[in-house]
A and B are shown apart, each in its own frame.
Chain A
């Protein structure tokens, strides 16, 4: 750990953080206004504009900020120690994402092992049956305690159809991105592009199928966000996973562009590595989903 302490790069003043703050503030404020105005039955135009401006600022900021980092890195300002800082940063960021999903998985397990059996009249709080006559516990939940407030879905997604296919796609994409990484380490550009391209393709197909599945759920199965705890957990988990896949795909695309531009060397390509870590994380979350949301 004693290497190169002398040259730790401390950037000069930067405008990006404050731009990022304004961007994020506007985006979130706009989003909240859209929702609140919507439920109050008021116009959401202004809110959408705020949201849009915030979003654009965020995009501008991302390009600018990362642009700065890339430039500094390519100018050779960064030491191996800086590289370690980035690694720690990315690892702990992924850890925080894991905890975010952990909260949702926790909700799923709680509903299945405690709440629903209790509502169905089981266990220490068994007298609940007083309240929900005619409700029997089951999972997936195809009858809700109060079917009027929350109409139940007609059916659930079959795990061995699209979900299985998607699992195969995503696991494969984890392999392809690794192959691309190894190629990058050997500085074999052509191969990197090939396998990275394949990864992106797999990701897009995954997203397409995922969208297809949602359409099916809404239009044929009546499985919606509002169809009780089954629909709630289903869409929350797969939805946030999907959002992460989209983000990961964007990262992959940017890596592809950077490779195209000739960025990265065989031993200095942290941006690429971070993206592949992220991609593996998304993959692992999916495996959890496949098992706990679709199969069991």
Chain B
């Protein structure tokens, strides 16, 4: 795709600032900020995961044993919110911060100070969000989708704090996305035309566009909630001419693109990893780019597939059903491309590749259940059951999370200058793989047998699979501690990594030494 001729001198800048505070609080360096994003995201993953463990422990058997229903609902809500906004999105922004400038040959992000602000707003937002757990009346308990009027008229007092936390997250995401777009459009090394950009860059360009388009809509809908709660408006109250379903339309106009925000960067990363370990170029670069574009555009016109049971007119049902089904086509193009890339390559299975291959297989399974959900009449049976929970954990856990793990292992040598422990990495993979499937596959059966989601207690016929699922979840959860250990170990030492530790990997990021110097590409390389 891209090759470099210019050598680049990277030493007329100095290294990181000395003091802890000056270095991390005041930094404008994309690598520092990237690392902070990644660390923050992992902390949130542990926190959100711990909440999932509470959920799974309560659901281990029927009856109420560990928590009361209102606390359970808070756990479900916070788990969803923290995983989506705290774990997955920041992890991708962290990867973007680290890798985009390296991949396009830029000295840093386009707007470095704003970059720092985008990051620090996140801990601030999550401080407010998590503090609601300790407020009178408890944390938000209405699901991460916070449907009105449960979240407005009937919400706990902390809802107002939740709304402002969402506003801050929105500001952070929008600024982050603006930065990404400005960087990609304006900072590429000479010669790197759009159609020569690495796929991770492409997917992030489109993700950033999605973010800028939908985060303000989320801000808009929570603002309407805020006014309904505190200023007597009636957007979501029929008594004043509003409609609770209006909330859902606006929310999902944000919500559906949001789920692609959580997968497109992973698509990009996997599109680097699979060719690298297949030692064979990506099968169809151009069609991959177009497919991502098509997915992004379609994602704006499918939102109501989350609302098939609200009683839309049939024309609406049909439109949203057809549009949703169409997304299978470009996504299929991507899956087929990955498979075709592997086909007749020279494959080896280091940890990043293991995660990437599992990503393709398990994401596809999640995609299939998505397609089943898209069939409106069948969704009447699936909707709000564990079938949906199974679907989205299949696209999110082995999708987004495995994508992030794969990227982390792939680029860790570049970040730290050391190789991670391959045996431990493989152990992490296999335990995660087994635990994850054990946890989430039975949820398909539960959903089909009729178990509703968001319940702390269930009828007896669901007991067996719930127990299996909980066991799998504990296993998956415990395994993540191993990942923490692997990363810490790799940061602290290990086999020295070469500039390009993977014989099949290509791209500008592999032309600089490992670990990447504090300042890179101060003079842009020239790409042929």
Contact = CB atoms under 8 A, between A and B. Distances in A.
Chains A and B belong together in one complex:
yes
Nearest to B117: A17
Interface in A1-19: 1-2, 5-6, 8, 10-18
Given A17-B120, A124-B311, A232 B235 contact: yes
Interface residues of B, number: 84
B459 interface: no
Given A99-B212, A225-B231, A107 B224 contact: yes
B140 to A, nearest CB: 13
Residue among B239, B249, B253 with the highest chain A CB neighbour number at 10 A: B239
B213 A99 contact: yes
Contacts of B110: 85, 88-89
A235 B232 CA distance: 12
Residue among A15, A22, A40, A131 with the highest chain B CB neighbour number at 10 A: A15
B216 interface: yes
Contact of A97 (B158, B163, B216, B229): B216
B15 interface: no
A106 B249 contact: yes
Given A13-B22, A124-B313, A125-B311, A100 B107 contact: no
A20 B113 CA distance: 11
A130 interface: no
B107 A229 contact: no
Interface in B168-210: 168, 171, 174, 177-179, 181-183, 185-190
A119 B215 CA distance: 30
A24 B45 CA distance: 25
A111 interface: yes
A89 B182 contact: yes
A290 B76 CA distance: 43
> Main SS of chain A's interface residues?
helix
Residue among A6, A20, A32, A235 with the highest chain B CB neighbour number at 10 A: A32
A92 B177 CA distance: 9
Given A65-B113, A89-B111, A18 B28 contact: no
A22 B125 CA distance: 11
Interface in B215-244: 215-217, 219-221, 223-224, 226-227, 229-235, 237-243
B116 A18 contact: yes
A146 interface: yes
Nearest to B180: A92
B39 interface: no
A132 B234 CA distance: 16
Contact of B160 (A32, A227, A230): A32
A248 interface: no
Interface of B: 13, 17, 22-23, 25-28, 106-108, 110-114, 116-117, 120-121, 124, 127-128, 157-158, 160-161, 163-165, 167-168, 171, 174, 177-179, 181-183, 185-190, 212-217, 219-221, 223-224, 226-227, 229-235, 237-243, 245-246, 249-250, 253, 311, 313-314, 519, 523-524
12 contacts: A10-B519, A14-B113, A35-B160, A36-B158, A36-B160, A39-B230, A85-B111, A92-B181, A99-B216, A100-B217, A114-B243, A150-B241
Given A13-B27, A226-B233, A236-B227, 20 more contacts: A10-B112, A13-B17, A21-B117, A21-B121, A24-B121, A25-B127, A32-B128, A36-B158, A85-B110, A92-B177, A118-B243, A123-B313, A131-B238, A144-B241, A145-B240, A149-B234, A149-B237, A149-B240, A227-B240, A229-B234
